[in-house]
Structure 1
Amino acid sequence: MPHTATIDRNKVRALMQAEQQRFAEQHPRSLELYRRAQHSLLAGVPMHWMTRWPGGFPIFVAEARGATFRDVDGHEYIDLCLGDTGAMTGHAPAAALPAITEQLHKGITTMLPSENAFWVAEELQRRFGLKYWQFALSATDANRFALRLARAITARPRVLVFHGCYHGTVDEAYAWLVEGKPASRPGNIGPQVDPTLTTKVVEWNDPEALEEALRPGDVAAVLAEPVMTNVGIVQPAPGFHQALRELTRRYGTLLILDETHTLSAGPGGYTRAHGLEPDMLTVGKPLGSGIPSAAYGFTEEVGRRAQAVIQPPYADTGGIGGTLAANALSLAAMRATLEHVLTEAAYQHMIALGRQLEAEVQEVMTRYRLPWHVTRVGCRVEYLFRPNPAQNGSEALAGQDPDLDPFIHLFMLNRGILLTPFHNMTLISPETTAAQVRRHTEVFEEAVRALIG
């Protein structure tokens, strides 16, 4: 065997064609439903990103429990996508269902607080270290509201994000670097305003560029994941978080950390695991065991300043919040999830299996001398078809593989394993088992043998 295994691209395409045929043959009912849906659903799906699956049409799900689901054709799957983090708790977690079901019978929404509201706030305070909390229905809304508050309390017009970021459908976060200059992100549909009017963009892990952007004093907030995850996992370089915190404080800019994906790092996310000190923090997706839920928190100082700008005559018309935000069902789901599902013991299990998956995939890469790498954030693991980890968004985007990425996804799917559709991301739930992780590795190795055999 040569020093480094090589991949024949023509062979990849031929294998992909065979996998697509196999997929169509194995999923006649899903294909039938997809064709029927063309007459009532735009593109045949209830949300357009569901067209991104690599088989040519999406699987229609019949039932999901724990770390598995069954499709309408009767196939069972190990779910390592888990709703792209929305089901990181596992599907319909047994420990949360009684409280959720009880609240369904007691009322879903009233526009009034319940005791669960301050229980959840106190638990988030304990986990993340921020004093005050508010609630939303998605991390997108939490980020949107946090940015509005940041601009209000600093009286500054701009925000800053990192190239390649994704923070839901927040308009300000749709600014990227295009040919090295800030511009609207490719594919940005119908932007309300040119995002370069609201947003500055720099590369992740570049403190010099960050300081240059902050120096004019017009940036209200930096919005960042503690680890970039939406273009593949891009870890912070040693010392970058310290520089990010020091520079934002020096120039009077608020630091907002989006923990929606990096909640995989532990009960208090990457923030608690690594002792970070954000001014504001947002989190969504798995917080309510799949019930739409999100939260955003503030330090005591930021909370005091935020309260000063939310004046009573405009508390309901200032652009923050929504009628169903902080509804009773979401808060009951959040309490049940935090109290009984995403516990310290659960994270010990999840992170241990994340380490197992990382080690097993790395062993396959090493044994077959593949120029690929694997990286991890707690119970979130990703493998990428490039030799070295990306240092920023540009490197991550350039390292995506239009042949191998969809092939691995479809090869896995045809053998009963679901990965996150937009990159080679795997996620461990409290219900995931060591045997399921091992099965993933077996199928991954089978794919490798098909590619280089």
Structure 2
Amino acid sequence: MDGQDSQAICGVDAARIRELRAREERAYAKARPKSHKVAGHGLTGFLGGVPMHWMADWPMPFPMIVDKASGATLTDMDGNALDDFCLGDTGSMFGHSPAPVARAIRRQARRGLTYMLPSEDALNLGKLLTDMFGLPFWQIATTASDANRFALRVARAVTGRDRILVFNGCYHGAVDETMVRLKDGKPVNRPGLAGEFRDLTQATRIIEFNDVEALEGELAHGDVACVITEPVLTNSCMVLPDEGFHAALRAATREHGALLLIDETHTISTAHGGYTAAQGLEPDLFVLGKPVAGGVPASVWGMSAAVAARWATYQATKEPGYSGMGTTLSANPLQFAAMRAMLEEVMTPAAYEHMEKLAARLEKGLARAIARHGLRWHVVRVGARVEFICAPGPLKNGAEAEAAHKPELEAAIHLALVNRGCLIAPFHNMMLVSPATRKRQVDGLVTAFGAILGELAA
């Protein structure tokens, strides 16, 4: 072998990774002649050949065209059925088209889809949100990105401060000021931003997750309106909080007059009521998107009574005019109907119990496969959300998470899993267990993962 071929990535020979990827690409194409015919050279009329640019981020040589998805199974137009552990990257975390949500959509479709006024379902929804997530006051948006943007506007308005604080490696959708990273210890705009003309670090302070000393230091400047964070970093190889970190975060924000926004869009996998309920967190602002309406685009953002009172005072004194918060299709009756069905009938304690049990089985199975093949990798789980990470663990912060991400190796594994009937998220190595997921599907994923590792580590 030459020098390039003999290199290893996370204990796996680089040449073996490339060989596996090439072989799996051929197998993928052979199994999908219909998808290849219509999508092999891009979908006609779409920029970059796909309706949304991240559809090109999957490791397949071309997109599979989906025919249908039900429960925890997805079927493409060539008739290939896959056990779905991606579940729309959390958007369908409770299964594809849950029956109560499908019924609610059909019912509301006969009554109108949008009219900028509350419906009967809205009369129930506010109480359901308060009962499940604890905060007393709520607003509806269309995406978690929007919800985070609007909540940050409220934070700045009521505190009179202009900066926010984020953690390196964070992800909060398309919120501009969170698109920053630490490079050699210094804040910079996140690499790859398209058309960004501002220095986003001027509006944002950034530190490493789990670094309480740095948190205290940055908040001491007295200009931070809000700390926005996921309870667990989830979009950069998963990073769990150190014991006591959240208590220190809450104490520091209160001491320095900053609000705390918890974004549960991914960590809603933790338990009924999310990580916030499970761990007794006390956010001032709370955001949840993706799965809250069962796949219908919707998100919610809530606030404490204290923040609501400060907002009312601000509203009474601010200059009249457009707030910059809200979009025309937000808070429509289709969202109300779908969210009510989700909160009442789908996102139940019993559903979470099933998800937790099978996710624990998946976690153990993946860890055993890794150990069996002598790889220094590890597995992390937050409730129904599981991730294998091709590096020793646990990871402590965003910098370690970025270093642990190995796209070439991960892409080969992902594609090989697809060819063995298992779909996981294209971003990192995330897998979700839904109420519709069955034990045989979990065991099938573990078996496929073990077989792939056997080929890579032979």
Q: TM-score range by the shorter chain?
A: over 0.9
1:330 corresponds to which of 328, 335, 346: 335
1:372 corresponds to which of 361, 369, 377: 377
Q: 1:66-108, CA deviations, whole angstroms, 9 ceiling, x for partnerless residues?
A: 1001101110010000000000111111122112210111111
Taking only aligned residues, the RMSD between alpha carbons, in angstroms, comes to 1.5
Aligned equivalent of 1:119: 124
TM-score, length-scaled by structure 1? 0.96
1:54 corresponds to which of 40, 53, 59: 59
Summarize the Cα distance change of 1:38–1:68 in structure 2 as closer, same or farther, 3 Å threshold.
closer
CA drift at 1:312: 10
Are the equivalent residues in 2 in contact too, given 1:135–1:294 (CA < 8 A)?
yes
2:189 corresponds to which of 166, 171, 184: 184
Q: 1:391-439, CA deviations, whole angstroms, 9 ceiling, x for partnerless residues?
A: 0000000011133210110000111111100111100111000110000
Q: Which runs of 5+ in 2 are unaligned?
A: 1-9
Letter of the aligned partner of 2:151 in structure 1? A
CA drift at 1:115: 3.0
1:268 maps to 2:278: no
Letter of the aligned partner of 1:352 in structure 2? K
Letter of the aligned partner of 2:56 in structure 1? T
| Residue correspondence of structure 1 range 16-415 to structure 2 within 5 A | 16-35=21-40, 37-191=42-196, 193-310=198-315, 317-415=322-420
SS of the aligned residue for 2:12 comes to: coil
CA drift at 1:180: 1.4
Summarize the Cα distance change of 1:256–1:192 in structure 2 as closer, same or farther, 3 Å threshold.
farther
CA drift at 1:232: 1.4
Letter of the aligned partner of 1:346 in structure 2? A
Are the equivalent residues in 2 in contact too, given 1:173–1:199 (CA < 8 A)?
yes
CA drift at 1:202: 0.4
2:439 corresponds to which of 421, 431, 434: 434
1: distance between equivalents of 2:367 and 2:64? 29
Query: Which has the higher mean CA deviation after the structures are superposed, 253-262 or 399-408?
Result: 399-408
1: distance between equivalents of 2:176 and 2:325? 15
Are the equivalent residues in 1 in contact too, given 2:358–2:442 (CA < 8 A)?
yes
1: distance between equivalents of 2:126 and 2:66? 34
Runs of 4+ in 1 over 6 A off after TM superposition: 312-316
Summarize the Cα distance change of 1:123–1:192 in structure 2 as closer, same or farther, 3 Å threshold.
farther
Q: 1:305-354, CA deviations, whole angstroms, 9 ceiling, x for partnerless residues?
A: 12333359978721011111110000110000111111111000011111
SS of the aligned residue for 1:124 comes to: helix
Give me the identity figure in percent. 47
1: distance between equivalents of 2:104 and 2:319? 34
SS of the aligned residue for 2:226 comes to: strand
1: distance between equivalents of 2:264 and 2:96? 21
2: distance between equivalents of 1:35 and 1:312? 58
Are the equivalent residues in 2 in contact too, given 1:35–1:44 (CA < 8 A)?
no
TM-score, length-scaled by structure 2? 0.95
1: distance between equivalents of 2:419 and 2:102? 31
Q: 1:118-137, CA deviations, whole angstroms, 9 ceiling, x for partnerless residues?
A: 42221111122111001101
Letter of the aligned partner of 2:291 in structure 1? P
2: distance between equivalents of 1:109 and 1:143? 23
2: distance between equivalents of 1:45 and 1:352? 37
2: distance between equivalents of 1:418 and 1:448? 16
Are the equivalent residues in 1 in contact too, given 2:237–2:404 (CA < 8 A)?
no
2: distance between equivalents of 1:316 and 1:86? 34
CA drift at 1:190: 1.6
